[in-house]
Structure formats: structure tokens, C-alpha cells
Structure 1
Amino acid sequence: MRILLSSLSALALVSCSAPQDVSAQTGEPVIAAATETFSVEEVATFNEPWAMTFLPDGRALITEQGGTMHLWSPDQPPVEVRGIPEVDYGGQGGLGDVVVHPDFAENGLVYFSYAEAGDGDTRGAVVARGALVVAGDDSASLNDVEIIWRQAPKVEGRGHYSHRIAFSPDGYLYISSGDRQAMAPAQDLSNTLGTIVRLNDDGSVPDDNPMDGEASPETAQIWSYGHRNVLGLAFAPDGQLWDMEHGPAGGDELNRVEAGANYGWPLVSNGEHYDGTDIPDHDTDASFRAPAIWWTPVIAPGGMIFYTGDMFPELTGDVLIAGLSSNAIVHVEIDGDTAREAGRFTFDNRIREIEQGPDGTIWVLEDDEDGRLIRLTAGG
């Protein structure tokens, strides 16, 4: 079915008409407004979908938090991908991100993240990889699966895994590692909680990472630290890494991620603790890297992309962020190391994931037990 922007259907997108946040740079309200008319098509439903990635042939891999990965084709029912290890499902944990190797056409390698149980009542994120093998229209598997990275240490609780994955233009593997709701470890360089790590594609540590590794073997993996819960991770067309992370009560952040930088959590934040306790703002301590833009009220970000297609020229080169509590795609323009919200496109349901199709279409996954896969194209 095709549903136009102007329809009154539950899938119709609407523009916002009131201030949504305050820019960290200007202090002026950012007014969200729809800048593009989409044609909207629901193409499939999944059970708690979390992430998706496109293959070169136009098919996609889609993960469900409960532990299932699907190979989706436009003209075939989804096929379950065998070979996924047991995941620790519960809370924010389960099967997470999925991306393909930059040389997937030659090596067939797929990288995916999930929560893994540990000793006692502990768990942590891992990233694994395997070779995708497809036989006909109804058989797919990941072969020779190996874990190439483990979040350290494993701790109790089921929150803030982060475990987003992104390959840089020069082929390095970046992984967001959440603070696991423990807060203080994000400032402790002897572990990888509250960090973004940088690895070679086999999980080994590059020689030119910014930390010397003296505190622990994990230290050498760290690219940046002082992060809370990074659920968006993407490279801009110029090769610069950006992240999108949840603040506490207020203060969701879009950050320009640089080698060795400390983003301050939990010592500074533009939000406050859930019990109302104040946290000093970023501008109270210049030693911490401040966000390019922050949101209060929060947008509760999911995935993010830099749009590089031609179908929506007004969006080309800009950031598109999946919004959970905001039920939106949030459109942000970047100018050097600053950013501004240019508008948002709101839905009736929480948006967990956003991806760009090979033809420039935009795809979103809803965050629900019957989460819809929705395709956005131009016009109506």
C-alpha cells in the first residue's frame, strides 16, 4: 500500500509547530518543520526489530532483539538467518546491530552485536562476525561465527549496552560501548564501559589508537570516553565520526567524536539525574568535549545516518536520527563542529532504526512487537 503525506492514516507524517529543543550554541529555540513530502509504504513487520543493513544486491539483514536475524527481500518473505549465538534477552539487551564488511562483495562477512551472559548475574555486549551463505530463496546462515570483541567488564543489569557498529572509510571498526548504567566507569580508562572503541576488522587493536594501554589491555582499544549510552554511530561524507547518545533526564547529545577526547559523563551533562539532582553542564568545565547540539526535552535517539542519496536533495549531507520517545526522524544540519535541528518528521510510533537504501530511499523500523519496516520515497 502507498500512503501520501497528506492522508489521515496512522502512518501519515506530520510537521511539528512548536519549539522542540534549545541549541547549545545559540540558545534559540529550534522550530521543527516538515521540509519534504514523503510517499510512505509499509512493507513488512518484525518482532522488536533493532537494526538493519542493506546488502549490495538490495536485500537487507534485519535483527530482532529476541535473537533472530532475517534476510529480507522485496519480493520474498523474510528468511531466518541460522547461526546466531544465544543472546541474553531482556531489558535493553538481546540481538543488536548488524553491518556488513566494506569488502562484503568479496568476503561475505557480516558483523553483529548482542548481549552475552557472564558468570553469576552479569552480562555484557559482544561483537561477532560470520560469513553469510544464502542457498536459494529459503535458506540463509552465518558460518564460522567468531566473537571478535567483548565489552569489559561484564556487570549486573540489562541497560546501556549501546553496541552500535560502524566501519570508517579507511576500514577500521568502531563500536559504541555504553556505561551499563554504572556511570563512574565511563571516566575509568582501565575498562571499556562508556567508550567508543576502534579496532581492526579482525578485532585486533590498531597501533595508532590514542591510548597507550598501560592501565589494562582494554585501554588500548579506546578511541574516546566519557559516553553514556550511544545508540547512533555514523561517519559523515567527509570521514568524520559522529555519535548520538542518550542523556539522563534531558541532555540527549550529538557529538563530533575525536581521538582521545573525553565527553564528560557522568561528571558533566546538559541533563540532570532522574531524581532531580543537578549535574554540572558541559560549559562549566572546558576539559570535557561539549556536544554539537543537545536536546531537552529529549528525542530519545535510536540509529542515525548521514543521508547521501539524490532522492531527497534537501537532506543530502545531513544527519537523520531515529527518535524513540519523540516518534520522529530528526533532521540535523552540520556546519563544521556545530549543528542545528532543521526539522523533524513525526510518526505515530517509536522509531528504532533508520537506513538509506541503495537507490536513495529512506527506511525506518518501528520499535514494537509488531514493528513495521517502512519505506519513504519522494513525492506522492
Structure 2
Amino acid sequence: MRNLTLATGLSIILIACSNGDDAQATKSGSEEAQASSDISPVDRKPFEKAEVASFDEPWAMTFLPDGRMLVTEKKGKLLLVDQKGAKTEIGNVPEVDYGGQGGFGDVILAPDFETSGLIYLSWVESGDDDTRGAVVAHAKLDLQGTQPDLKELKTIWTQNPKVTGRGHYSHRMIFSPDGKYLFIGSGERQKFDPSQDMTGNLGKIVRLFPDGSVPQDNPFVGQDDALPEIWSLGHRNILGMAFDAEGRLWNQEMGPKDGDELNLVQRSANYGYPIVSEGDHYDGKKIPNHDTRPEFAAPKIAWVPTIAPSGMIIYSGDLFPAWKGNAFIGGLASEAIIRVSFDGETAKEAERYAMDQRIREVEQGPEGALWVLEDGEGGRLLKLTPTSR
């Protein structure tokens, strides 16, 4: 069994599950090995679960100021959903390249949405010679009349280069707490080496102004053979990003065969993929651990075996006061919600809640409830509220 000793401050959580978003991964079983006594049994659920609606391969959601939601479906639909589950399809959405892990992706509101009406969308578009890649655009959301639609759609960022295959687009987005910067997760598209290639944006987190232009204080501006939009590198498949109350950016990403990561995202940091990882290649080839190459930033948590992480938030509501400041991560093959607690810049898995379905997305509602999207055909929208006493 390989050495699982990591750099100081890195927590290892050993819980049996399998990576569900990689085409090579297979279900490895449902038995869970508890790594420490502070992790409760997976069948403990301190919340009640109410089904609100169902969807065809939902991928992301975000709340509007009036409490309604926007939900994306991978095949190319954007839906306006109220809290009772009534759905209205939004018109004039872009055409998407659907297949594998690709299609319609993330949706978030502009920081000034209440005055601008702008939303930001990500999706996969086709290129030449059977290639494809993710794009990000903004558009005005017109909710007037009986048929809501998008107006003035404008692409502001493109995954570069477009490559073959249909995996690891990532295309998650988040604005900085001050609203000045847009961060985009760009996966390495199952091509490995692009994560370390600074001439492209695959395997990177990029930082832009909301209009898509590049801030001149980005770490690699003016550096030869490096894209100025790059904020950090050495990533694999980034499927969740969140800022904590101190303004620190965290991301989670799928490792290869095991080795999913929770990272504290630092300016210009290199997280080492594919040179180092806490997992191995699917063909069995070993990858050195982070502790063998201290020049690379090590994850704050590495999950071995994998949890197959998806959407992520850091909770700030009052409905679950004991959880304020904790992260919640959806689990795909693990069919769970994973709660992570923080102590400054260290982190550990605190609890895991079995959901018996693949979880694609987790969001916080306007009144502090947790809202969850299940993955796949018939994926349900669930509202989680405190258990009645």
C-alpha cells in the first residue's frame, strides 16, 4: 500500500467510495472506513429532506434575489424555478456541445445583478476537427412578459486550446467577495500535461475582470510564454470553488484514481498535477505524492479513496448556526454530502451524510436552507432544513 503521509497540515480522510465523473472510474462499493472518531456515521442526517422538482441531467443552480432559482441542464436548457418547483424554460440560450461530461455548465449572477440584470453562463462549444472546449459569457436575463429569455449574450472567455475528448471541462465560476474579479476553473481535459503548460489555460484557475479583460496585477502578466489570465496552475478537474469569510478562495477537484483534493488557492501557486498527486493513474502507473516535491502546493485535504466531489459552498446562513463557516461538498460516486470544517488555513472532513444518490450541486438558499441537485436523468431538487425536535 502506498505511503499516505502528506505535508504538515494536510488531513487524510480514508473513506471507501469511487470517482464518479471520470469515464475510467467504476463503483468500488459502499462500505465506509471511518478515519477518526470525530466523523459521525454516514446515516446520521441532522436535516429533513423535501423534494421540490426533478430535472434531466441538472448541473448547476443559483438563486435570484426574489428567491427563485436558475437551473442548468446539460443538454442545453436554462430553467427558472420557484421554490414550489414550478419551472419555466428561458429562451435564447446558446447551443451547447452535449456529450460525456460536456454541455451546459455553470450559472451565476453578476455582483450588480439587481441593476444590470446580467448573469454569467458556461457551456461547451464545438471546434474544428472534432475538438471542443468550454466558454463563459454574460447575458441580460429578461424576466418581463410570459416568456423569459436572454438578451445580448457575449462570450468573454474561451478554453484554450480546444482539444478532442469530452471530459474535464470544469467551467465553474465565482466572483470575489468585493465583486471586482471573476475566477473560472478550467479543467485539463484529461490531457495531463496541459496543467503545467503556461501557454494555454487548461488545468488552471483564471482571474478576470467581469468584462473578461485581464487585471494587470495578475501574477503572470508580462511573463513570456505565459497567459496573463492565469491565477494558479497544476489543477486537474475543478468542480467547486468558494470564498470563506476571510476572503480566502478554496477549490475542490477530482484526482485521478483516488486523491481528490481540497485546496487553498493562492496567487501563482502550482498544485503539481500531473507531476504529483495523492492518487495514481487509472492504468495503475504510480504518481509521486506531494511530499516528494515540496515546491508544489499540497492539498489541505486529500481523499483516498476518492469521494468524487461536485458542487461546493461555504455556509454563511443562520438556519444551521453550528455549521456557519463550514464547507459542503456534493459527492457523486460517494452519494453523499461531505461537511468540512476549517481552522484558519487548515481543514478536515467533519461529517458525511449519505444521500443514496449522486449529488451534483449544493447551494445555500436565501433563508439559510441547503438546496441540493441530484445528478443524472430525473435528478431531484431537494431542500434540506433542520430536523424537527
Q: TM-score, normalised by structure 2?
A: 0.89
Which residue, 183, 190, 197 being the options, matches 1:181?
Answer: 190
Contact kept? 1:178, 1:230, Cα under 8 Å: yes
Partner in structure 2 of residue 128 of structure 1: 137
Q: 1: CA distance between counterparts of 2:362 and 2:55? A: 15
State the match for 1:276 in structure 2. 284
Cα drift, residue 39 of structure 1: 1.4
| Secondary structure class of the residue paired with 1:278 | coil
User: Are the aligned partners of 1:33 and 1:342 in contact in 2 as well (CA < 8 Å)?
Assistant: no
1:98 aligns with 2:98: no
- Are residue 57 (structure 1) and residue 66 (structure 2) matched? yes
Task: Identify which of 214, 227, 232 aligns with 1:224.
Answer: 232
Paired letter, 2:33: P
Q: What secondary structure is seen at the aligned counterpart in 2 of 1:19? A: coil
Within-5 A mapping of 1:294-313:
294-313=302-321
Kindly provide the amino acid, as one letter, of the partner of residue 253 in structure 2: E
Distance across 2 between alignment mates of 1:49 and 1:370:
9
Q: Is 1:155 paired with 2:166?
A: no
Q: Which moved more, 1:162-171 or 1:74-83?
A: 74-83
Q: Could you tell me how far 1:329 is from its partner in structure 2?
A: 0.6
Provide Cα deviations, 1:7-48, integer angstroms capped at 9, x if missing partner: xxxxxxxxx995356xxxxxx687344675211100000000
Question: Equivalent residue for 2:5?
Answer: none
Q: 1:72: which partner in 2?
A: 81
* Distance in 1 of aligned mates of 2:103 and 2:242: 22
Aligned to 1:110: 119
**Separation in 2, partners of 1:147, 1:30:** 46
- CA shift, 1:75, in A, is 4.3
Residues 32/283 of structure 1: CA separation in 2 closer, same or farther (3 Å cut): farther
The aligned runs of 1:255-334 (5 Å cut-off) are 255-334=263-342
Distance 1:17 1:274, change over 3 A: closer
Is the Cα contact below 8 Å between 2:53 and 2:85 reproduced in 1?
no
CA distance in 1, matches of 2:378, 2:306: 24
Letter in 2 for 1:243: N
- Most deviating of 206-215 and 284-293: 206-215
Letter in 2 for 1:113: S
Equivalent residue for 1:38?
47
Pick one of 351, 355, 365 that aligns with 2:373. Answer: 365
Which residue is equivalent to 1:379? Answer: 387
TM-score by length of 1: 0.91
The yes-or-no answer on 1:239 pairing with 2:253 is no
How far off its partner does 1:367 sit? 0.3
Cα shift readout 1:32-85 (whole Å, capped 9, x = no counterpart): 446752111000000000000001110000000000000001246211111211
Is the Cα contact below 8 Å between 1:19 and 1:32 reproduced in 2? no
1:352 is the counterpart of 2:366: no
- Rounded to whole Å, the distance in 2 between the matches of 1:377 and 1:58 is 16
Q: Secondary structure at the match of 1:310?
A: coil
- 1:212 aligns with one of 198, 203, 221: 221
Distance 2:228 2:34 in 1: 39
Residues 63, 32 of structure 1: CA spacing in aligned structure 2 closer, same or farther, 3 A cutoff? same
Task: Give the Cα–Cα distance (whole angstroms) in 2 for the partners of residues 63 and 76 of structure 1.
Answer: 14
Computed over aligned residues only, the root mean square deviation of the Cα atoms, in angstroms, reads: 1.6
Q: What is the aligned length? A: 357
The residue identity in structure 2 corresponding to 1:19 is A
Take 1:74 and 1:289, find their aligned partners in 2: how far apart are those partners?
A: 41
User: What stretches of structure 1 of length at least 5 have no aligned partner?
Assistant: 1-15, 22-27
C-alpha deviations, 1:310-341, integer Å up to 9, x for none?
A: 11112110010011011111000111221111
Secondary structure at the counterpart of residue 86 of structure 2: strand
Displacement after TM superposition at 1:368 (Å): 1.5
Assess, with a 3 A threshold, how the Cα gap between structure 1 residues 76 and 30 changes in structure 2: closer, same or farther.
closer
Q: Distance in 1 between matches of 2:185 and 2:280?
A: 22
The equivalent of 1:140 in structure 2 is 148
Letter in 2 for 1:175: I
CA distance in 2, matches of 1:245, 1:30: 24
Q: Identity percentage over the alignment?
A: 55
C-alpha distance after superposition, 1:260-283 (max 9, x if no partner): 000000000000011111000001
**1:73-108 Cα shifts (integer Å, max 9, x gaps):** 124621111121110000000000000011111101
Unaligned runs of 5+ in 2: 1-29
Please say if 1:251 is aligned against 2:259.
yes
Alignment partner, residue 201 of structure 1? 210
Q: Distance in 2 between matches of 1:271 and 1:168?
A: 30
Indicate conservation of the 8 Å contact 1:32/1:341, yes or no: no
Cα offset, 1:249, TM superposition? 0.6
Task: Please tell me whether the aligned partners of residues 68 and 81 of structure 1 are also in contact (alpha carbons under 8 angstroms).
Answer: yes
* Change in CA separation of 1:279 and 1:76 when aligned onto 2, cut-off 3 Å: closer
Separation in structure 2 between the aligned mates of residue 333 and residue 36 of structure 1, nearest angstrom? 17
- 1:166-210 deviations in whole A, cap 9, x for unaligned? 000122100000000111010011110000000000000011101
